Structure 1
Amino acid sequence: MQLPAQAVAATVLIEVVRISAVPTKLDAPYPGEVVTHWAGSEAADALTLIETLPGSEQHRCGFSPGWSIRAYENTLDMALFEAAFCFRCHEVRMHGTAVPPALATQFFDADAPPAQTLLALFCEAAL
């Protein structure tokens, strides 16, 4: 999976969000509970893991994401990007000031080991 390179380099903090609904406006944050924050090497490791997610074909489920990450630079103002993951249809939707249109929708193999590791990290964070 491809993330916006400059945003990845600038990221110092990631919020992990357990999504509870879809946004009511385009490019609005996904509603839900922030279950943890990852900073430093934890954030860098998570981004590296996400970048290793292998591609996949689109599956049909209607896009019902359960998890998202929001990446912030050191000012902690607005998220550089948010990536919402649907492990059923294997789709990731990203938005934010750092996301070019070509990266906004991508597909990943949700059954691949890196994806299962990411899902386990999300679930662990919610405990």
Structure 2
Amino acid sequence: MLLPAEAVAATALIELVRISALPSKQGATFPGRAVAHWAGSGAADALALIESLPGSVQHRCGFSPGWGVRAYEDSLDLVLFEAAFCFRCHEVRLHGTAVPPALGTQFFDADSPPAQALLALFSAAAP
């Protein structure tokens, strides 16, 4: 999966979100509760796992993401990007100030070992 390289390099903190609904308007933050925060090597490891997701074709489910990550820069004021994952339709939607339109919608193999490892990481972090 492709992430905006400059944003990945500038990421100081990753926030894991248990998504509760779709945003009210396009480009808005996905609503949900933050369940974990990763900094340093934890953030780098999560980003590396996301980047290792193999591509796939679109599956139809209506896009109902359950998990999302928000990447923050050092000051924690600016969300560099947000990625919302739907493991049913194999779709990831990215948005944020650092996301070029070409990376906005991507598809990943949700049954692949990296995707299953990512889902396990997300699930283990939830209370």
TM-score, scaled relative to structure 1: 0.99
Shift of 1:109: 0.1
Shift of 1:26: 1.4
Q: Please name the residue that 1:58 is paired with.
A: 58
Q: Please name the residue that 2:93 is paired with.
A: 93
SS at match of 1:36: strand
Q: Deviations over 1:14-53 (max 9, x none)?
A: 0000000000011111000000100000000000010000
Percent sequence identity over matched residues? 76
Alpha-carbon distance in 2 for matches of 1:124, 1:79: 24
SS at match of 1:77: coil
Alpha-carbon distance in 1 for matches of 2:62, 2:91: 10
| Paired amino acid for 2:87 | F
The answer to whether structure 1 residue 108 and structure 2 residue 108 are counterparts is yes
Shift of 1:75: 1.1
Q: Please name the residue that 2:28 is paired with.
A: 28
Alpha-carbon distance in 1 for matches of 2:59, 2:72: 30
Q: Please name the residue that 1:80 is paired with.
A: 80
Unaligned runs of 5+ in 2: none
Q: Please name the residue that 2:9 is paired with.
A: 9
Q: Please name the residue that 1:70 is paired with.
A: 70
Alpha-carbon distance in 1 for matches of 2:8, 2:37: 16
Q: CA RMSD in A?
A: 0.5
| Paired amino acid for 1:73 | E
Q: Please name the residue that 1:118 is paired with.
A: 118
Shift of 1:78: 2.1
Alpha-carbon distance in 1 for matches of 2:26, 2:91: 17
TM-score, scaled relative to structure 2: 0.99
